[in-house]
Structure formats: C-alpha cells, structure tokens
Amino acid sequence: MKRLLCVALLTFAALPNFSLLAAGPTPPGSTRAVPSRALDMMPVREVTVFKDGSAFLRHEGAMPVDASGNLLMDYLPIPTLGTFWPYVKDEVRLKAVSASPRRVQIERTAINLSEVLEGNVGEKALLTETNGTTTTAVILAVPRRSSEELMATSAPNSPERLPEFGDLIQIKTDKGVKTMPISQIRDVTFENAPKPALGREEFRNLLTLQLDWQGKKPTSKVNAGLAYLQKGLRWIPNYRIVLDDKGGAKVQLQATLVNEVLDLQDVTMNLVVGAPNFVFSDKVDPISLQNTLVRLNSDVNGINNSNMAGNAIMSQAARANGDEDDASHQRGVMDLGPTIDANGPNEDLFLFPLKNITLKKGERMTLLVAEYALKYEDVYTLDASCLPPKEIHANMNGDHQREREMEKLLAAPKVKHGIRIKNESQQPFTTAPALLMRGERVLSQVMMTYTPVDGSVDLDMNTALNIQVSKEENEAPRDEKSVKLDGDEYQKINLAGKITLVNRMQKPITVEVKRIILGEVDKGSLDAKITKLNFLEEKTALSQWWEWYDWPAWWNHLNGMSRITWRASLKPGKAVDLDYTWHYYWR
C-alpha cells in the first residue's frame, strides 16, 4: 500500500494541476504555452501579383494586445530577403518583431478514448475494462511530463519539447486512488454529459510585434500592418479576340489566379503587367524560421521515444515535416501553373486593380480583367528563308538529316494570313496566349506579345493557301576580276532571284514580303527597300544551318547581310514578280 501511494504521489508531480515544477518559475529557455484565444490573424488588405509567381502582400488591421502589451500573430510569412516590413499606425512605437516556434494550447474535439478521458478530468464515470470488470470512479488525471519538466531535466540548450503522454490514467474509487493502463479500458459511461473537446499543446510559428507604449497604458487593440514579397501567388493572362466582318475586334483579357500562399478575403488585388527586378527573389528572409524548422525536424526525429506514446512524438514530427515541406513548397517548387516564356523585363509595369477578391489557399480562379473594342486589318506576310551559299552544300558529307532540313528551306515559302491590331486602349497588351475567333467559330490560338498603348501587334492565324508563291534563284556570270585580302584572291559570285505571287482570292490584298540574303543586294524591283543588317543582331534569321559550317575569318570582312522588303498589291486573279540581284565573295 505504501508503494502504491509513493507511485501515486510521483505521478501527481507530473500533472499540470499538481506539478511542483509547473507551480514554480518557468525553467530557463522555456516559455508558457500561449492560449489559442490570444492569437489572431492580421487580415490581408491588398495584394500585388506578378506573372512570375511572386506577390507583394500587405496585411493591416486592429489587432488585440496581449497581457505583455505586445501583438501575437498566428501566421509567419516566408518573405523574400529584404522585403519584410512591419509597422504600427497608432501612437505607439514598434520596438522589434520576433519570430519563434512557441507552444500553443489548442482546443480540439476528442476523437479517441484517451482524449475523452483526459478532457473529462474531475468527472464521475463507469469504466468497463477489457476483462469485463466495471468500476465507478472519479477521473483524477491522465499523467504526463510537462514541457517545463522536460526542459528542467534535459541537457542545457536542449530544444523545447511538447509534453510526453503515457498510457496511464488515475481514478479515485471508494477503495482509494488507482492507476491503470488506458489500453485496459474498453468503454466509459459518464454520469453527466462529457465535455466533447480538450486542449493540448502543439508548436506554432508565432510572430510577436514588441511594442513600446512609452509610459502610456496599453490599449486593447493597435492598428498594425505587415508588407512583404513572397512566392506562391501568380496570375496567368490570356486573351480572347472576336473578329467581325467589318474590321472590328472585341479584345478580352482574362486572368487565371493561382493561390498557394494563404486565404484571401475581400482583398484589393493588383495584377501587374511586366516583370520587375527582384535581386534576391531566390533568397528567403531569416524571419521565416526555415533553418529552425529543419533543425526542429532533425531534433524531434532523433529523440528516443521508447518511454512515450508513439502518437505524441509523431504529432511533433509531422508538424516539423509539414512545415519543412511547406517551406520548400513556398520557395518555388509548388505548382503555380504554366509560365509564359516570352514574359520579360522589357514590359513596362502596369497595374490592373481588382476589388473584393476572395480566394482561399489552394484554389484557382478565372475572371475577366479588361475588355476593349478595337479595329483590326488583315495582314498577309511572306518570309523567304535565308539560305546558305551553295558552296556549303558540299560540306554536308552525306548527312541525310541536314539534307532534309535544307530541302525544307529550299521549298517554296508560304504566305501567312494574320491580323494587325493597334492598341488604342488605355492599357498595354501583355504577353499571353490569345484565342482568335470569328463570331462563335474558333480560328486559331496564337501568342500575343507585349504591345504598348498606341503600338501595333501582328497575330498570325494560318497559311493563306489561295496565294500561290514560287521562287527561283540563278547564278549570273561571275566577274572575271577578283578582290584581294591579305594576299588571297576572292571571286565575286553574282546571283539573280525572283519571287512570284498569284492572288487566287476574290478580293484585292497587299502582301508584305521579306527576303534576307547573305551578301550585298545590288537592286530590287517595285520600290524594294534594301537594308544592311548586322550578323549578331540577325543571327536568328540564319536558322540552324549557320552552325553546320566552320565559317572562315575572311567571310565577315568581305560579305555582309541584307534584307529586301516589298509591299506588293495584288488584284483578284493577278500575279506580281519581285525581282532582285545580289552578290557575295568566295574563294
């Protein structure tokens, strides 16, 4: 009996209601658990969203002040380095902001027998054991080792831990105080309706705004705010352009919103055209506690849990793992939808403000952003590929794949039919997919490119099969005289070409023709415009065959690159010839 009483007294010492440690001062390095009612979420007022998946969020609201005269927030952002800026608006000074994992007392519904018993300490109940024995008793306690006790008995500088629970319950019967395993209890019948919930501690990352009241009495609430840049929120633009038969185009801009940051309720959302330069976009600010989360996860997984219930330690490990996974998720590996590759810093910044947007974390939304009534014109273009000199053909050395690619280049080019829209709206067009329609009929999907106000954009739709194209090029007599460079002689190769267009449509059209050649153009028919080009700037026009040949150093000294452009008008059923001559040097 004395042994039983000793065990009971030792067990009482581990309980919050009876623990001498809990009644005394908090051990160094430990803090009291924060009650959940002391926490609050600062509402988000405004969000500025970029197409690269970054968003600038501004929280602001009247926040309750705790007993210490500070603000506690149950939300810790993961901001980009150097973008985290807290503030207060009332007549109080913000001394500092601290972020730390804190123990929080959270009340939840009891969902197993152990939690039901723990949540109804002090209640009278009929306990039925697995062997059928029944006992009427008052539930005294479910013993545990508190966080304060664990800190007091751990090595110096050990991390804070959650309470440890065992498999014991203490009850008071008419025979005395009895300690028994919870696993031996089959069911329990309460004399009164049991409490459905209980409070247990868990780790939360809390943000504390430390306030200096400068000798004044703290008020119950303070207007405060946070502003920071964080990844996890993106808008994806897309256009629908509906054409009529009178040259009118209804241009609609739609936004797809992807939210992986936090719940947004009635916020002002600014959608940004353009990509600003965030130097540290790949660096996370230390205020986010990401390194602490990784260390906490390692510490928890390394604890010997032979003397504690498995679900208690797993709740800690799951929390740490969850935060770490969420942290890596926020750093940019989350699925925020496709990126429009053509988006770049060449776009000027412009905001599309939207009011009263509600979007929970994990949700997606599409909404109409803007609509314009504009004019368009049909555009027919012909881009004749730039071909290599015939001397390069001999260097293919039987490479059949290159020969097939060269055959495609030599094939007759096709006229493209598109539309040209002048942006007479008040906002620029952003880089985005564009669905072209005529009435209810889909024509094609193309890429809208960034177009400033008063600028024009060409959107290719399809191949104009009713405009026939033929192209021929022949070598003219070579000059007998040659030029010398560093003692070597180079012969002038003269060539003549002709592009023929035939309009098989029932309406007159104008075709814009572009031909790029290696060498120098001598002349072109029909008021051709001749422009000398820079190799480096126009390298994309050379296609991939430029890399097939080890170009000699003398090439750029003797030869240039030129472009010929025409605007050819064709009546129905009529043809036009576009003649040109050019030359280059070879040896």
Question: How does pLDDT run across 369-387, given as a tens digit for each residue?
Answer: 999 999 999 999 999 877 7
Which pairing describes strands 529-533 and 561-570: parallel, antiparallel, or unpaired? antiparallel
Confidence band of 6 (pLDDT split at 50, 70, 90): very low
Mean pLDDT of 27-32: 52
- The answer to whether 166 and 144 have CB atoms below 8 angstroms apart is yes
Mean pLDDT of 257-283: 91
- Helix axes of 290-301 and 310-328: crossing angle, nearest 10 degrees: 150
Whether the predicted pLDDT of 174 surpasses 50: yes
Burial class of residue 527 in the structure, from the number of CB atoms within 10 Å of its CB (0-12 exposed, 13-18 middle, 19+ buried): exposed
Confidence band of 351 (pLDDT split at 50, 70, 90): very high
**196-197-201 Cα angle (round to 5):** 165
Which pairing describes strands 144-145 and 164-165: parallel, antiparallel, or unpaired? antiparallel
- The answer to whether 232 and 261 have CB atoms below 8 angstroms apart is yes
- Classify domain 2-30+111-195 by CATH architecture: Roll (2.30)
CA distance 209 to 92: 11
Instruction: Fill in the amino acid letter for 259.
Output: N
**365-44-284 Cα angle (round to 5):** 90
Instruction: Fill in the amino acid letter for 210.
Output: Q
- The answer to whether 147 and 161 have CB atoms below 8 angstroms apart is yes
**Distance, CA of 308 to chain centre:** 41
Confidence band of 324 (pLDDT split at 50, 70, 90): very low
Q: Which of 80-84, 260-264, 480-484 has the lowest mean pLDDT?
A: 480-484
Whether the predicted pLDDT of 145 surpasses 60: yes
For 453, what's the count of Cα atoms within 13 Å in the CB-facing half-sphere? 8
pLDDT of residue 82: 93
| β-strand partners of 576 | 501
pLDDT of residue 73: 86
Residue with tokens 């020969």: 403
pLDDT of residue 69: 92
| β-strand partners of 586 | 491
Question: Range(s) for CATH 2.30.30.520 in the chain?
Answer: 2-30+111-195
Which alpha helices (H) appear in 41-185, and where do they start and end? 113-119, 147-153
**Distance, CA of 52 to chain centre:** 6
Q: Which of 237, 241, 204 is nearest to 40 (CA)?
A: 204
Question: How does pLDDT run across 276-319, given as a tens digit for each residue?
Answer: 788 888 899 999 887 544 444 444 444 343 333 333 323 333 33
As a whole number, the mean pLDDT across the chain is 82
CA distance 333 to 335: 6
Structure tokens at 60: 């602001």
- pTM of the full predicted structure? 0.74
CA distance 125 to 108: 22
Return the beta strands (E) in 17-151 as ranges.
34-35, 44-49, 54-64, 71-73, 85-88, 93-109, 124-129, 134-141, 144-145
Q: What's the per-residue H, E or C state across 397-437?
A: CCCHHHHHHHHHHHCCCCEEEEEEEECCCCCCECCEEEEEE
**43-49-55 Cα angle (round to 5):** 65
Which pairing describes strands 93-109 and 34-35: parallel, antiparallel, or unpaired? parallel
pLDDT of residue 543: 59
